[in-house]
Structure 1
Amino acid sequence: MTKALLKYTGEVEWTPPAIYKSSCKIDVLYFPFDQQSCNMRFGSWTYNGFQVDLKHMNQKPGSNIVPVGINLSEFYLSVEWDIIRVPAIRNEEYYPCCKEPFSDIVFNLTMRRKTLFYTVNLIIPCVGITFLTVLVYYLPADSGEKVSLCSSILVSLTVFFLLLAEIIPPTSLAVPLLGKYILFTMIIVSLSICVTVGVLNIHFRGPSTHTMGPCMRKIFLHIMPKILFMRRPPYNPGDILYREDTDGDGYIDGDYSIDSCGDIKDGSKDCLNYDCSNFKSGLHDDEHRGRASVADADNVIPRQLTPEILSAFEGVRFIAQHIKDADKDNEIVEDWKYVSMVLDRFFLCVFTAACVLGTCGIIFQAPSLYDNTAPIDIQMTRITQYGISSPPTVAPRL
């Protein structure tokens, strides 16, 4: 049994003693920064507008809109939603069956999701894992852990994606904002795995399997390092040599005379201390007598050295040539390693920009981030965690 207050003007004030439940279509496009709007329509299908003219109690003359159409004085605050607007709108509809208008009142309930829980437990960890992808290109290739790091990040994102699938409502109408971001991150990590495999392939190349072309050498060894602010130390193994002397440690300049060892023309190659020093002194004596010079050193060697010493010098020449070839091969290997470092630096910049722009471009699409409307449920409710407080100054009712 319900009570209706009848006035002499013909107005009837009716407060329905019931709890109304209704379903509402949820748009998860901007989840977890979403804002939902639900409508509840009240009207009479039996009596037309001339017989029953529905109006809101707080409706002002000349206006069909009531800004606060629902009484929130006894509303319990939600831990997940903020109520932003609760307007009531009176409508008059004409149907093909009848000439009379039918009046109804539509109550709108606009709610905004509280994002603290999702920000702390989903968004911040996901953003942190995303930017771990950038560190893959800062990790040295010799460590052997670049691909392992990428795989670990991909597995972590898969776990986050499964967790997200359990939280959001199951719908195929739209992809949620957080789902887009996790998919974007998974694509970035998958691409980083492919790029890392290519960089490692370049890092471990050698002269026996690959040859670096002049165009590639110019781009990756001269042009790109300048653009990426990279500076390569000069590679010259003959700058400083270590030689064991009477003191136990000594360094000599690699530009000593080529006369002392015949055809050994690379100052970075050491020779036998005893024989070479004796031969050097003999050559210097000949030079003082004007009988030998640098040009005819090869002609002097056969006339002054025994076959055993010549055989030793042939061995020294072979060792020197072997070391020289090894230095050339090592220089090529170092060039390939430097190319991989340049690529790592380049993709470090590219993926950093992609992560920053992708994160900002996806997260900041949500319109609720730019809505500074204060929730009205906190202002109008009298129910707090300690009970019922003093009534508000304005308590509109239905």
Structure 2
Amino acid sequence: MMASRPRLLLSVLWHLACSTLHVAGRGRGNDSLLFHHLFREYDSALRPVREHQDVLTVDFGVTLTHIVDMDEKHQTLSMNLWITMGWNDTHMRWDPGEYGGVKHLTVPATYVWKPDIILYENVDPQFNGWSRDETYVKIHQNGYVLWEIPAVTRSSCKFDVSSFPFDHQRCFLKFGPWIHSGYEVTMRSMAPEGSLEGFIDHAEWRVHNFIAEEHLIFYGEDFDISTPYADVTFTLRLGRKSTFYVFNLLLPCLLLTFIMAATFFMPIDSGEKLSFGVSILLAMVVFQLVLKEALPESETLPWIGRYVIITMILMAISLAMSVFIMNICDCTVSSTPVPSWAKKYILNYAARCLLMGDMSRLDAGVPRETELLLASPFQNGHSGGRKDPTILACGLNSDPGRDGTEGIVSLLISRLQGIEKQLETLKTYATQQERNWEIEKEWRTLAKVLDRIFMFLYVSVAITCLVAFAGTSQPHGGNK
């Protein structure tokens, strides 16, 4: 009796082990039986509907994980997406109770029918569709087929860079069947927006939203204008992170622009004034070439590009004005005085407005000290008349009858008359030089005031253009 109990215990354990192995084997067999049951007469080339006129609805969802590249030059957008599609396959339904409780089955994607959904804006030459051998689908007991695909897409996106580098862009991702019309396959978004869960931040762009919209569009083909086509369009709204461009493009441009204003403070007759301005203009030309490489080739120039072009024009005009000012300073070769209207409106009114004072009040004529210095010794200080040479002769020799003295007196008189003529010539020359110096001083003063006027105009136009373009650079929603 005691010996039979161990045998009974061993027998129970053996039966339990066999039952466990049998259940496990039966489970594996149910998957195999279900697979053969589903695909025994299944045709993956046909649309899985009961009736031909039935419309198949495809649920579509997109998860954005990473922006690989945004090429403004070629206007393309490369992204890493997780695409999810689901639809009801009427041939893929079963009762889990008949197959050991199996509620879903995972099979290679090539075994089932799949919608011919493509990305309309696709520009990837290597794209050959979503159907790849390594993808799988999950089939649920109610016939719902779920297909999840990781993909790197490259699509076209029209960039509006008029507000660069403070621009916002909109890129459209339209997914829909290529050959199946809306009467055969329709599209439905899984969520109002595309998913950004797990999105990796981009160094240049930030994502504002990823809105999904459903459409049923009549494209108007010539052969059948009454056939609509369904799609789900995702609108990706992006904003550029402008810090990099502010410090590497905008700030150097502004520095070059306002450094050019320093040329107006240089001496007017300095030869370095032109060379300094030409160097800054060449630097701005190089800067414009660098900016051209970073922007797409389009008719719409960004505001910073327009500002650079206008600044270059202003610099060229300022150099031309500098040459004009330097030419005015060389008016000393001419004895023409400054016109009265220039004295009134430029040296007086304009100089007052520029806080330079009244520059028209210059000493005219020859100073009194110069007149006294150049006065003839034969000129009478009281009457201003010239003394008679005979009086001088009488002063030298009171005895005119003495022999030999008349010749000496005549010689002295002729010498003094020659000296008087030379002094008159020197006086005329000095007076003319004094007058020319006064004219030169007037022209230099006029050049100084004109230089200050041109500097004021240059700075005013540069600041006005900067404010106007910066005002138009406010984001306006990107392209439509």
Give TM-score, length-normalised by structure 1: 0.69
* Deviation at residue 168 of structure 1 after TM alignment: 1.9
CA drift at 1:343: 0.8
Equivalent residue number for residue 172 of structure 2: 39
| One-letter amino acid matched to 1:92 | L
Assess, with a 3 A threshold, how the Cα gap between structure 1 residues 320 and 99 changes in structure 2: closer, same or farther.
Answer: closer
Partner in structure 1 of residue 201 of structure 2: 77
Please tell me whether the aligned partners of residues 2 and 17 of structure 1 are also in contact (alpha carbons under 8 angstroms).
no
- What's the CA shift string for 1:330-362, capped at 9, x where partnerless? 001111111111111111111110111112222
What pairs up with 1:297-316 in 2 under 5 angstroms?
A: 297-299=385-387, 303-304=391-392, 307=413, 312=419, 314-316=421-423
Match for residue 458 of structure 2? 351
Q: What is the identity, as a one-letter code, of the residue corresponding to 2:354?
A: L
Match of 1:24 among 136, 157, 160: 157
For residues 54 and 75 of structure 1, the distance between their equivalents in structure 2, rounded to whole angstroms, comes to 25
Residues 77-129 of structure 1 deviation map (CA, whole Å, 9 limit, x = unaligned): 11111112211111123466386754321011122222222111111111111
Select between 43-52 and 343-352 the one with higher mean Cα deviation: 43-52
Distance in 2 between the 1:113 and 1:339 partners? 50
Unaligned ranges ≥5, structure 1: 59-65, 240-253, 256-264, 284-292, 372-398
Partner of 1:3: 137
Specify the code of the residue in structure 2 equivalent to 1:351. Answer: Y
Q: Secondary structure at the match of 2:157?
A: coil
Distance 2:180 2:438 in 1: 96
2:216 aligns with one of 92, 102, 118: 92
Indicate conservation of the 8 Å contact 2:205/2:241, yes or no. yes
1:348-389 per-residue CA deviation (whole Å, 9 max, x = no partner) reads 111110111112222332133x88xxxxxxxxxxxxxxxxxx
Larger strand proportion of the pair: 2
Q: Deviations over 1:121-164 (max 9, x none)?
A: 11111111111222222222122222212211111111111212
| Residue equivalent to 2:260 | 133
Q: Give the direction of change, closer, same or farther, for the CA distance of 1:18–1:214 in structure 2 (3 Å limit).
A: closer
For the aligned residues, what is the CA RMSD? 3.3
**Counterpart position of 2:428:** 321
Match of 1:145 in 2: 272
Q: Please state how far the C-alpha of 1:188 moved relative to its aligned partner.
A: 0.7
1:235 to 358, 363, 368: 363
Provide TM-score, normalisation by structure 2: 0.58
* 1:2 counterpart letter in structure 2: Y
1:56 aligns with 2:189: yes
Letter in 2 for 1:87: I
One-letter amino acid matched to 1:57: M
Q: Cα deviation per residue 1:286-311 (whole Å; 9 max; x = unaligned)?
A: xxxxxxx7126533786357746665
Query: Which residue number corresponds to residue 41 of structure 2?
Result: none
Matches within 5 A, 1:235-254: 235=363
Question: Which structure's CA Rg is the greater one?
Answer: 2
Secondary structure of 1:15's partner? strand
C-alpha contact 2:366 2:434 (8 A) present in aligned 1: no
The correspondence for 1:108, drawn from 235, 246, 250, is 235
- Once the two structures are TM-superposed, the CA of residue 323 in structure 1 deviates from its matched residue by 1.8
Tell me how far apart the structure 2 counterparts of residues 17 and 106 of structure 1 sit (CA, whole Å). 18
Match in the other structure for 2:322:
196
SS at match of 1:26: coil
Equivalent residues in 2 for 1:143-182, closer than 5 Å: 143-169=270-296, 171-182=297-308
* Cross-structure match for 1:383: none
Partner of 2:408: none
Alignment-derived partner of residue 471 in structure 2: 364
| Structure-2 separation of matches of 1:318 and 1:20 | 95
Instruction: Give the whole-Å Cα distance in 1 for the aligned partners of 2:425 and 2:226.
Output: 113
Amino acid at match of 2:386: D
Q: 1:165 to 1:100 in 2, by over 3 A?
A: closer
Superposed displacement of residue 36, structure 1: 2.0
Q: Would the aligned equivalents of 2:335 and 2:439 in 1 still touch at CA under 8 Å?
A: no
Letter in 1 for 2:137: K
Conserved? CA contact 2:219–2:225, under 8 Å: yes
* Counterpart contact for 1:181–1:363, Cα < 8 Å: no
**1:342 aligned residue:** 449
Deviation by residue 1:28-72 (Cα, 9 ceiling, x = unmatched): 3333333221111122345455654432222xxxxxxx2xx2222
Is contact 2:209-2:237 (8 Å) kept?
yes
Structure 2 runs not aligned, ≥5 long = 1-134, 396-411
* CA 349–17 in structure 1, closer or farther in 2 if over 3 Å, else same: closer
Which AA in structure 1 matches 2:429? Answer: H
**1:266 matched to which residue of 2?**
371
Contact 1:207 1:332 in 2 (8 A): no
Q: Secondary structure at the match of 2:237?
A: strand
Cα offset for 1:5? 5.7
Separation in 1, partners of 2:335, 2:429: 19
Q: Tell me, in whole angstroms, the C-alpha distance in 2 between the residues paired with 1:14 and 1:297.
A: 123
Aligned partner letter, 1:173: E
Which residue pairs with 1:242 in the alignment? none
Q: Percent sequence identity over matched residues?
A: 26
Matched length: 319
Q: Which amino acid aligns with 1:116?
A: T
CA change 1:106–1:325 in 2 (3 A) is same
Match in the other structure for 2:340:
214
Structure scoring higher RCO (CA < 8 A, sep ≥ 6) equals: 1
Is the contact between residue 336 and residue 439 of structure 2 (CA under 8 Å) also seen in structure 1?
no
SS state at 2:332 partner: coil
TM-aligned CA distance change 1:153 to 1:95, over 3 Å:
closer
- Aligned residue in 2 for 1:62: none
Compare 141-150 and 228-237 and name the one that shifted more: 228-237
**1:117 is aligned to 2:244:** yes
